[in-house]
Structure 1
Amino acid sequence: MISGLFKKKLLLHSGRFAAYATSNSFKTAIEASEKLVSPRAAAATKSKFQDPFSIVSHEMSNLAKSIASLIGSGHPTLNRVSSYYFEAEGKNVRPLIVLLLSKALSNIPLSERQRIPIDEYDVTEQEHIKGTPKFGQASIAGNSVDDSLSPLRILHGINPRIILDPLSKPMDQLPQMDKMNGILPKQRRLAEIVEMIHTASLLHDDVIDLSDSRRGRPSGNIAFTNKMAVLAGDFLLGRASVAIARLRNPEVIELLSTTIANLVEGEFMQLKNTVLSNKEENEIINNDGDSKKVPKPTGKVPTKQHEYSVSNDSDLVDHETNVQAAFEYYLHKTYLKTASLMSKSCRAAAVLSGAQDNIIENCYQFGRNLGLCFQIVDDMLDYTSSDTIFGKPSQADLKLGLATAPILFAWKQDPALGELIARKFKQKGDVEIARNAVEKYRGLEQTKQMATKYCMAALENLRQLPESDARSALELLTNSVLTRTK
């Protein structure tokens, strides 16, 4: 369990939460830290410390407040919808990973972190100067993550004194903590941006998937409306984009901007059938109980068939080829929807640290392998967890027509399941047949083995970093992803 002193420290920090950062957020932080220091996890990595979460406790406990300063607008209802998911008990895995990795990277000697000038200025103690800095330049006075590139009167379109700039408020004592902790101001801002992008995707996903719950309470589309949820997600992405630009590093801007596009690409892959579709079926869109035919292209813009599309005709393509294509499609979609944000944010943290290319690549691969593991476990839990434990509707993938790893492993053994997959389990009894097949052919066990493979690969990537408490905390977190129940 967590020491009394650690709890007192977290309680002290929690007093500075934003108004909407409720006690639930703090409770989540406590629960996360308790999981990280469980005896089983500690034994797995032979760690000598007891409170790995405490390594970044100050940054994590102020996460909601920091994000509040980034997403504020002049419209109270928009503020309410945009901050809705930050109030509830979220896993906050992505910012936690970025912060712990940033701390682990700080243990690399400065002589080995000279790829770019390291930005470690205390952003709250500098006098503001006018002028637009050059991209990639190390921070100077007036060139921090909190300073605008354009005049505020242009950004707001009104007198900036009427609505305070929500992107220029320094955070209480965080930079001083950064200096002691080895976490750079831009890396801390990166963690906040990543959580904003992720939360925007949740708002959109819940509208697309017709979800009715998220994090143990009504989803955004139910609590407000579909339109408000979509607009709030768009607003979060807009605010995140501004914060991305203020990192003033072209490479990081490119990485994070690409993750936003990847999320959309992955969602489109999920909307389409996995594989096993003939040409006519590929031209039909089925969503929300409505079927529409895709308009034919005019030829002005080049379009092409997705590379993973194969035929359901056994006379044209053999079963093994179809299964292999389905798994490739599934993993590609999983990367785009989940692993892209993890992997590219880890890479961005390494770039900002000034680390060399081999370290940057291992950080990227760590995030990629961890992200794939995370989503594969999520797909497995969809079959096994209750709604209460999962925090969102469980056993929903089959009902949505999604063919994830468990059913794909079953299909590998039973080719007849291909027909169910091709029609997205929409006939009566298809879902029950699929669930029984997953159990019969040990689909969940094989899915667990797949997730374990990616977990072990992520741990191997971490071992390329110097030994430190932060690295051990990441190892604990990586193992906990594999064993989580929600």
Structure 2
Amino acid sequence: MTTISNDIFLPIKDELLVLDTNLKKMIGAKNPILYAAANHLFYAGGKRIRPAIVLLIAQATTKSAKIHPEHHRLAEITEIIHTASLVHDDIVDECETRRGVNTVHYKFSTKVAVLAGDFLFAQSSWYLANLNNLQVVKTISKVITDFAEGEVRQGLSTFDTNISIDDYTEKSFYKTASLIAASCKGASILSYTKDNMQKNFYLYGYHLGLAFQIIDDILDIIGSQKSLGKPAGSDLKNGNLTSPLFFALEEKPELYKFINREFQNKGDTEKAIAIIKITKGIEKARDLALEHVQAALQALENNQKSISINTLKLISCYIINRLN
């Protein structure tokens, strides 16, 4: 799997270093176990794509490309919300590893992980309120509702072959694209841009987020535990039907038998993955992701050319290149 080059983030290199320092200060839980649990994923690292996008939009939309303190705080809030969602995701999906390290619930306990995730959401809400910008608060707080909606929908539709590709797209929005889209718009709001520019940055984040989720779903089929940071085939085992499987079902209806028995027989997951790989399912899913990447790039077209805008375009291209 292609990892994102640090060179791409050169325009905000110093800002990202400050972000890492501030994240650890912001969680500030008084209980040592809660602090250790919340801090666990921050130490595990991550690509920091979401806060990087916030900082780049700030550079692209302010005079003299100046990133204001409010932009920095929004970038930090975005990463905290994302991390909180991962803690809860791992509990629901029963994952033992994330980013190559033990998940919070596996390292500590499910109870501690739930509390740590809730704590991070609460911290993000507190810092969000202190931005003193009602429009941004409304935009970002909706994301936490979307996360819950996405998890409920996913939980109610496991192993359900009646859901459509539109249902899949909507779930992907709730789980991934909502945060990216909202944070893009939020960064633009903090720069006091016009409504049409705020809308375009929202669309950039919306399509980028959907593309990111689709590529994640492809990697769950073709990736390795080393490249994914978690076991391959996790979505199939958990009954989360994704775009590569939907497209593969059109060619190989025998896949239905694995889904209907919930991959319970020994070797079911491996057999299903082998079948998906010989169909056009992965290719069609990649094409769908590419459509969203192109839409994301289109949303940036009306912006004045700058290093920041060019970097946002490079991030869009990176999404697809994760498969290489």
- TM class, shorter-length: over 0.9
Query: Which residue among 69, 75, 84 is the counterpart of 1:191?
Result: 75
Q: Deviations over 1:354-396 (max 9, x none)?
A: 1111111110000000000001000001111111121122221
Q: Say if 1:398 and 1:431, in contact at 8 Å, map to a contact too.
A: yes
Q: Distance in 2 between matches of 1:363 and 1:265?
A: 23
Q: Say if 1:274 and 1:326, in contact at 8 Å, map to a contact too.
A: no
Q: Distance in 1 between matches of 2:157 and 2:264?
A: 12
Q: Distance in 2 between matches of 1:205 and 1:420?
A: 24
Gaps of 5+ in 1: 1-30, 38-51, 108-179, 278-309, 311-324
Secondary structure, aligned partner of 1:397: helix
Corresponding position of 1:261: 145
Query: What CA RMSD, in Å, does the superposition of the two structures yield over aligned residues?
Result: 2.0
> What are the equivalent positions in structure 2 for 1:131-170 lying under 5 Å apart?
none
Q: Say if 1:438 and 1:444, in contact at 8 Å, map to a contact too.
A: yes
Corresponding position of 2:42: 86
Are positions 1:99 and 2:46 aligned together? no
Corresponding position of 2:245: 407
Corresponding position of 2:26: 70
Corresponding position of 1:243: 127
Q: Deviations over 1:37-56 (max 9, x none)?
A: 4xxxxxxxxxxxxxx42211
Secondary structure, aligned partner of 1:62: helix
Corresponding position of 1:119: none
Corresponding position of 1:349: 187
Q: Deviations over 1:410-436 (max 9, x none)?
A: 112344544544554345554344323
Corresponding position of 2:176: 338
CA change 1:230–1:340 in 2 (3 A) is: same
Deviates more, 1:458-467 or 1:433-442: 433-442
Q: Deviations over 1:85-135 (max 9, x none)?
A: 11112111110111111111226xxxxxxxxxxxxxxxxxxxxxxxxxxxx
Query: Which residue among 368, 372, 392 is the counterpart of 2:230?
Result: 392
Corresponding position of 2:66: 182
Corresponding position of 2:13: 57
Q: Say if 1:274 and 1:329, in contact at 8 Å, map to a contact too.
A: no
> What are the equivalent positions in structure 2 for 1:281-360 lying under 5 Å apart?
325-360=163-198
Q: Distance in 2 between matches of 1:390 and 1:435?
A: 16
Q: Distance in 1 between matches of 2:79 and 2:42?
A: 9
Q: Distance in 2 between matches of 1:84 and 1:36?
A: 22
Query: Which residue among 438, 454, 459 is the counterpart of 2:276?
Result: 438
Corresponding position of 1:297: none
Corresponding position of 2:322: 484
- Which has a greater percent of helix? 2
Give the TM-score normalised by structure 2.
0.93
Letter of the 1:331 partner, please give it.
Answer: T
CA change 1:207–1:471 in 2 (3 A) is: same
Gaps of 5+ in 2: none
Q: Distance in 1 between matches of 2:260 and 2:179?
A: 29
Structure with higher Rg: it is 1
- CA displacement at 1:195 relative to structure 2: 0.3
Query: Which residue among 305, 312, 316 is the counterpart of 1:474?
Result: 312
Number of aligned residue pairs: give it: 322
Q: Say if 2:180 and 2:206, in contact at 8 Å, map to a contact too.
A: yes
Q: Distance in 1 between matches of 2:24 and 2:259?
A: 43
Letter of the 2:104 partner, please give it.
Answer: G
Corresponding position of 2:300: 462
Are positions 1:209 and 2:93 aligned together? yes
Give the TM-score normalised by structure 1.
0.63
CA change 1:274–1:392 in 2 (3 A) is: closer
Q: Distance in 1 between matches of 2:238 and 2:43?
A: 28
CA change 1:253–1:422 in 2 (3 A) is: farther
Q: Deviations over 1:242-298 (max 9, x none)?
A: 001011111111111110111111111111225857xxxxxxxxxxxxxxxxxxxxx
Q: Say if 1:276 and 1:418, in contact at 8 Å, map to a contact too.
A: no
Deviates more, 1:423-432 or 1:218-227: 423-432
CA change 1:446–1:262 in 2 (3 A) is: same
Query: Which residue among 279, 288, 297 is the counterpart of 1:450?
Result: 288
Q: Distance in 1 between matches of 2:215 and 2:148?
A: 22
